[in-house]
Amino acid sequence: MTTPFDVYDTTLRDGAQQEGLNLSVADKLNIARQIDRLGVGYIEGGWPGANPKDTEFFRRAREELRLDNAVLAAFGATRRAGVAAADDPLVAALRESGAQVVTLVAKSHDRHVELALRTTLEENLAMVRDTVTHLRAEGQRVFLDAEHFFDGYRANRDYALEVLRTAYEAGAEVVALCDTNGGMLPGWVADVVDDVVSTTQGRVGIHCHNDTGCAVANTLSAVDAGASHVQGTLNGYGERTGNADLVNVVANLELKAGRPVLPQGLLREATRIAHAVAEVTNVPPASRQPYVGTSAFAHKAGLHASAIKVDPDLYQHMSPEGVGNDMRLLVSDMAGRASIELKGRELGFDLSGDRALVDRVTARVKDLESRGYTFEAADASFELLLAEEVEGARPSYFEVESWRVITETPGAADAEAVSEATVKLRAGGARIVNTGEGNGPVNALDQALRGAIGQAYPEVAKFQLIDYKVRILDQGHGTDAITRVLIETTDGASSWVTVGVGANVIQASWGALVDGLTFGLRRAQVR
């Protein structure tokens, strides 16, 4: 008989303990639906009874949450010392949660039992036995999280193993060994898991934190040693340095170890789901995150690009499509002709037959980047540059006559400053003068510019500035340093990034704003 393998997500409970991450009930329901589409077997929804938000989540989940792949699990603790499981209100909340599976956390470290629970080692075993037995009798499946197991095993192996045996004998399906402090290394984890599997004969799971940077490696080592249940969080969320990133674990098992653990084809949803969840949590996705990061398959050096032009696999460990990601060519001062040619192809320009053109674009990129521009993060500005070189003229929908911006503060000491911008330009055969007010000079310029252009091109009404980044390039020059500005604009369906550079931050911002609107009109195929 083949041993089942569980992928267990705990983003909504353990991941939500991350500093600065605060999820509403609606957020948790949304994230649960996204994670279900990845195909995991279990989604831990939270701790009903411990806080009103999680109690409300399980109440609403019964009516609103329809999962196609996952089973919803409720997290809780063993009964309190000296109280029958049937009479413990937190155990009652687990019974009433409606969850098919309950994951109980239990102490497996003798010092934690005596110092944190303030009870005896024998009573802790009774707490495990009684709670598992009670919930099983109520018709719920039970998993056990053996908290601080690895530290407890090192301190008192016999007692740590006795906690596991007690849980198995009471009816727990699987016991997850928790590296709660995140201090283990892969070899240590493998040795302990191997001992537990051979000694207890029970199903073993693994739950790792990332304090040594080894959470994913520790999880994979545990699987190699016999664990058949892995726990983790999407995007590696969690307190301190986070938990094992579940996408990394699953991708390594499926794509590297050849061990399918998700329904066929669903791993291709990983990048989309990871980024969708990041939008809900309002935690920006890490660009260098393995597999699903925007830089995971990005290539910058000219040598890499030359090789990729021949065979993408020469500088990639796998095809990005396997996790729903894309290969990206970064245009920078490190770019060679191959980088420019490949990036042009990505943007819809075939440069392969014109070496002089490729050389000209390459030289221009290197010159601009030497003056502070960056195109690896500003594809839209690079596309405009490329269009200018290929088509012989820069895409232009308006001709700016002048612009100015004024910031003034009323006399009161605590009064807010008000910015006003005026833009004069020609568009659609007419001279247009428009004024805009905003929260700061850049916002005022954005309002004035879009208002002016919008009189000739109504399409800009859909455009919205959604991100604005400023970087001082030569900090030793103080307030007269060169400034680089990156602006992200959206039309509601997609977004693009443009760059501006100047000794004046407003001038640099103006350049990025103009590029952003020009690119948007080009994308909208305005005539």
Which strand (E) or helix (H) includes residue 360? helix 355-370
Predicted TM-score (pTM) of the model is 0.69
117 plus 52 within the same structural domain: yes
**pLDDT for residue 161:** 97
CA torsion angle for 227, 233, 237, 240 (degrees, to 10)? -30
512 plus 527 within the same structural domain: yes
276 plus 343 within the same structural domain: no
**Residue 362: domain span:** 298-370
Structural contact between residues 13 and 35, judged by C-beta atoms closer than 8 angstroms: no
CATH code for position 69: 3.20.20.70
Distance CA 418, CA 357 (A): 47
Other Cβ atoms within 10 Å of 355 Cβ, number = 11
409 plus 435 within the same structural domain: yes
CATH code for position 403: 3.30.160.270
Q: Is residue 293 part of a domain?
A: no
Q: Is residue 393 part of a domain?
A: no
**pLDDT for residue 368:** 84
User: Alpha helix locations (H) across 23-156?
Assistant: 25-38, 52-64, 89-96, 110-112, 121-137, 149-155
351 plus 452 within the same structural domain: no
Distance CA 31, CA 40 (A): 13
Helices 157-170, 186-200: axis angle to 10 degrees equals 50
CA angle in degrees (0–180, nearest 5) for 290-46-286: 20
226 plus 257 within the same structural domain: yes
**pLDDT for residue 333:** 44
211 plus 185 within the same structural domain: yes
CA angle in degrees (0–180, nearest 5) for 519-525-527: 105
What's at 433, amino acid-wise? V
Total residue count of the chain as it appears in this document: 527
Distance CA 267, CA 273 (A): 10
- Each residue's pLDDT tens digit in the chain (527 positions)? 567 899 999 999 999 999 989 889 989 998 999 999 999 999 999 999 999 999 999 999 999 899 999 999 999 999 999 999 999 999 999 999 999 999 999 999 999 999 998 999 999 999 999 999 999 999 999 999 999 999 999 999 999 999 999 999 999 999 999 999 999 999 999 999 999 999 999 999 999 999 999 999 999 999 999 999 999 999 999 999 999 999 999 999 999 999 999 999 899 889 888 988 887 887 877 878 999 887 787 766 555 555 555 566 666 788 888 898 877 665 544 445 666 777 777 778 888 778 888 888 888 887 887 788 877 668 888 889 988 988 888 888 999 999 999 998 876 667 788 899 999 999 989 999 999 998 889 999 999 999 999 999 999 999 988 888 887 776 554 555 788 888 989 888 888 889 999 888 899 999 999 999 999 999 888 87
480 plus 420 within the same structural domain: no
151 plus 86 within the same structural domain: yes
Q: Is residue 334 part of a domain?
A: yes
Q: Is residue 392 part of a domain?
A: no
Residue 182: φ, ψ to 5°: 70, 25
Q: Is residue 1 part of a domain?
A: no
Q: Is residue 103 part of a domain?
A: yes
**pLDDT for residue 334:** 46
Structural contact between residues 45 and 13, judged by C-beta atoms closer than 8 angstroms: yes
Q: Is residue 289 part of a domain?
A: no
Q: Nearest to residue 520, comparing CAs of 462, 455, 469?
A: 462
Which residue, of 456, 472, 497, is where some domain finishes? 456
CATH code for position 511: 3.30.160.340
Q: Is residue 121 part of a domain?
A: yes
Helices 379-391, 505-523: axis angle to 10 degrees equals 70
75 plus 211 within the same structural domain: yes
Which strand (E) or helix (H) includes residue 523? helix 505-523
Which residue, of 440, 456, 472, is where some domain finishes? 456
Which residue, of 421, 437, 456, is where some domain finishes? 456
How many domains does the structure of the chain reveal?
4
154 plus 225 within the same structural domain: yes
46 plus 192 within the same structural domain: yes
